[in-house]
Structure 1
Amino acid sequence: MSKAKTLAKRVRQGRMPQQAPNARSVAYSVLTKVQEQDSYANLLLPHVLGGSELSTDDKRFVTDAVYGTLRWRGLLDAVIVSAHGRSLNSINKRLVNVLRLGAYQWLFMNGAEYAVVNESVKLAKKRAGQQTTGFVNAVMRKIVARTLDQWRETLSQESSYEDEAERLAVQYSHPAWIVRELAAAWNAGGYAPEPSVKESGVNEELEGLEGLEAMLAADNEAPAVTLCVRPSLADMDAVYDEVEALGGRVQRGELSPYALRVRGVNPQNLASVTEGRVGVEDEGSQLAALALALAPVEDADGVKGAEGTEDAAERGERWLDMCAGPGGKTALLASIAQEVGATLSANEPHEHRRELVRENLKAIDAGTLGEISGRDGREFGATFPGAFDRVLVDAPCSGLGALRRRPEARWRKTAESVQELASLQKELLNSALDATRSGGVVAYVTCSPVLAETRDIVSAVLSARSDASRLDVPSVLEELNSSIPLPASVDSASPRDMQLFENIHDTDQMFIALIRKI
């Protein structure tokens, strides 16, 4: 058989390597998997791009298109529905992401009108067949007839929103229930001036509208990658130089003394990261771990105070991270424990996450580490009563504080799913308090600003106990860094929790409460 015939046969049999798909096709595939298979974009996208033959510019395009389309899906869908004149359910499901990608390119990526329409039509033909091209061409031509500002104005005029939350939900591409939760968290956070409902002209649940809109806008911005240079394991200047040597841009963090914010470099290409001396950890998460390490503990009789980790070795302090996976906060605590002579144990009930904890702790001296266990965290209070000086409860939560990093989460979570976690969160906090000695401290932390899984959990647990009380988190963090934006003190005699906000701290929206066992 001739080479030509052999080649033709291989093509017919589907054995011929195909030409590398273009960037829009790759972006479409990732979006479809995220939607249909509940994949996580931050895990799927690096894998797909790493195995592709796309150019560096095309990889940047795919990254922007995927994350941007996920973030702005609510607004994009509203634009598509308006241009189509019918509901999204009336559109061939294979075409929805084609139209979302095209709309995002036009509204947010400064794509040329002709190119956006033409490429959308070509993608539709490839993914859904020739018969769909006329429809996509017609809808896309209506979309490119208006700018982003014009579309926002059009949607405001066309829609009869039930309340302000509904309007903001479309304008900033969040489900309305999340808008309401963020509004409640902002109003309870202590950062906004006393609002005037009459002057703002909004319903009471959305007081402090300016701060709320800033929060929603920040949710749609891509965050920088933040490194945690683990104390006792790595040197800040050396890691700074390492990033620059690989062509990355780097600046010191503004909140944590161990933070470096980097762009233009894959952290996995840094030797300090692969060796476990440095980790990828948002500054908000770093502050949560540091708050626990720096909180003052007392001797068992409650008389002698000890600030932070001072005399930790002399006291033989035992620390516990009760919900440790994947282990970023654990490693920061462990590296501090290694410096001060404390011992840290870690617990993670899920085996695959427990392996991640071990990986994060690989650079820690064995003498610093206690047990790395897989227990149900609710068992610790009964199994190890009063055994620990400091306990971190990084409780399972909705994750709504990390929507910048996981934009698809806003479309998957429901108000009901948040409420379902409340019982577990209370049980874990009670268990942690039972496992803490008299005078010791528990940090209750969530990557969420939602009151039902933050302040309400702490208040509910403490209202049923007489052996624990809140500490003032802002005071602890102010000792760490006086430039950290802190909430206003309503009553100096009333200890405060601390809610971090993206628009103020440029971190994930972490909640931190410190509780002393009496």
Structure 2
Amino acid sequence: MSDPVRTIAFLVLRAVEQDDAYVNLLLPRMLAEHKVTGRDAAFATELVHGTVRQQGTYDAVIDTLSSRTIDPAVRDALRLGAHQLLSLRVPNHAAVSETVDVVRREIGHKPVGFVNAILRKVGARSLDDWIEELSAGLDPDDARSVRSSHPRWVVEAFRDALDGTDDDLDALLEADNAPPRVTLVARPGLAAPDELPGEPGRHSPFARIMADGDPGSVAAVREGRAGVQDEGSQLVALTLADAVLTGSDARWLDLCAGPGGKAALLGALAAQRGAHLVANELQHHRAELVRSSMRLLPDVEVTEHDGRAGPWDAATFDRVLVDAPCTGLGALRRRPEARWRRRPEDLATLTDLQRGLLERALELTRPGGVTVYATCSPHRAETTGIVAAVTADRDDVTVETTHQWWPHVHGTDAMFAAVLRRR
């Protein structure tokens, strides 16, 4: 590769588009494979994450300049060039010429002239100027969609979930587009927070927030005594662990444990209290990730079942976590491709699954025990809507509290958690 950074960025964009790849999994692997490190790795990371986050805005600019149908690979190259021209401090001539070289090598000679012409027009104006032109005549939320590079339905869902002002909504959309800092978790009994680099977290006593650097270089992370985990995710696990119980507190269950971050924190806390954690995950490859995260916690049982039909007896667990599969709209900072991959019609399938999992979790919780229902989504259909639907006709369940954390308020992913107690 004559320009490995931009070539890797382009290939990752193609995999995201073609193969539904995940940026946070594929990009580090490709950087390691091609031995790209330091500033080049940081630049590649910004190219990929920034391009995917802002692709809605860039597509609007590109489509203004071309009325023809654009081949998907060519569009990815145009998005990559537009990000350099409009959002990074890359000189126009370098952004255009280097992107054109990637097109020539990875796609072929035929679209070179077209890409060169479009990118020169893109770079002739600033991002603010483009947004002003694109937003003219649009209603406020369509304009927000273009400006913030969020689909209109996501903007509307966030507005509904916030139940606040336009300023709140704009602050959330802006926070979604800001690269998140790496947050570490010290697993209790295995690592102390002060042996991890970075400043203390704002909310979790086990969190440390790194200013920069590779978390893989931290000894405690390599050894499995600590992990990389957003502070909102830590708070979900702590919400379950900190709920007050009377009577038995010996059996804990994480019903949807993959990939294992919350389960590892729960397992460490359970070990300190002499409790046994069952960490369940339906998909085998994700269950293997759970096993890896639990390798230093011998009293954790990893199982592989559909959480709605696992072989557990009713009313046998003291604490149960349902970290339900969801749209992932709360983690758009970390998984930028999710905003383009999810559709409103996905909600019907997901909410059916979420209801089934919460109903099963309540069945497995003993009287007096607690269930925490959590999602990495603030969408009301996946949060308070599920809790209300499941508990509406039950007199044996009390909703004690709900939490909604936000990127623009708490500095976390937009995590939701509800504490339900069996009477």
Range of TM-score over shorter length: over 0.9
* % same residue: 45
- Are 2:99 and 1:120 equivalent residues in the alignment? yes
Count of residues in correspondence between the two structures? 423
TM-score, normalised with respect to structure 1: 0.79
Q: Secondary structure at the match of 1:223?
A: coil
Q: Which residue of 2 aligns with 1:503?
A: 408
Mapping of 1:151-166 within 5 angstroms?
151-157=130-136, 160-161=137-138, 163-166=139-142
Q: Which residue of 1 aligns with 2:182?
A: 225
Mapping of 1:22-421 within 5 angstroms?
22-54=4-36, 56-84=38-66, 86=67, 90-157=69-136, 160-161=137-138, 163-187=139-163, 192=164, 208-240=165-197, 250-299=198-247, 315-364=248-297, 366=298, 368-369=299-300, 371-380=301-310, 383-421=312-350
**Distance of 2:314 and 2:5 partners within structure 1:** 56
| Greater CA drift, 67-76 or 174-183 | 174-183
Cα 1:464–1:143 change in 2 (3 A) is same
Cα 1:134–1:452 change in 2 (3 A) is same
Cα 1:216–1:447 change in 2 (3 A) is same
Cα 1:105–1:21 change in 2 (3 A) is closer
Counterpart residue identity of residue 252, structure 1 = P
Q: Which residue of 2 aligns with 1:459?
A: 388
Cα 1:130–1:379 change in 2 (3 A) is closer
Deviation, 1:136, is: 2.0
User: Conserved in 2, the CA contact under 8 Å of 1:234 and 1:278?
Assistant: yes
Cα 1:289–1:418 change in 2 (3 A) is same
Cα 1:53–1:256 change in 2 (3 A) is closer
| Cα deviation digits, residues 357-384 of structure 1 (max 9, x gap) | 11111112x3x43x3221221125x841
**Distance of 1:30 and 1:170 partners within structure 2:** 24
For structure 2, the 5+ residue unaligned runs are none
Alignment RMSD, CA only? 1.6
Deviation, 1:345, is: 1.5
Q: Secondary structure at the match of 1:297?
A: coil
For structure 1, the 5+ residue unaligned runs are 1-18, 193-207, 241-249, 300-314, 473-496
Counterpart residue identity of residue 147, structure 2 = Q
**Distance of 1:424 and 1:131 partners within structure 2:** 47
Deviation, 1:127, is: 3.2
Q: Which residue of 2 aligns with 1:449?
A: 378
Counterpart residue identity of residue 237, structure 1 = D
**Distance of 1:336 and 1:290 partners within structure 2:** 9
Q: Secondary structure at the match of 2:75?
A: helix
| Cα deviation digits, residues 412-443 of structure 1 (max 9, x gap) | 10001122111111111111111111111100
**Distance of 1:281 and 1:55 partners within structure 2:** 23
| Cα deviation digits, residues 197-231 of structure 1 (max 9, x gap) | xxxxxxxxxxx211011111111111111111011
Counterpart residue identity of residue 330, structure 2 = G
Q: Secondary structure at the match of 1:146?
A: coil
Deviation, 1:262, is: 1.3
**Distance of 1:438 and 1:54 partners within structure 2:** 55
Q: Which has the larger radius of gyration?
A: 1
TM-score, normalised with respect to structure 2: 0.96
**Distance of 1:252 and 1:78 partners within structure 2:** 40
**Distance of 1:514 and 1:55 partners within structure 2:** 43
Q: Which residue of 2 aligns with 1:469?
A: 398
Q: Secondary structure at the match of 2:196?
A: helix
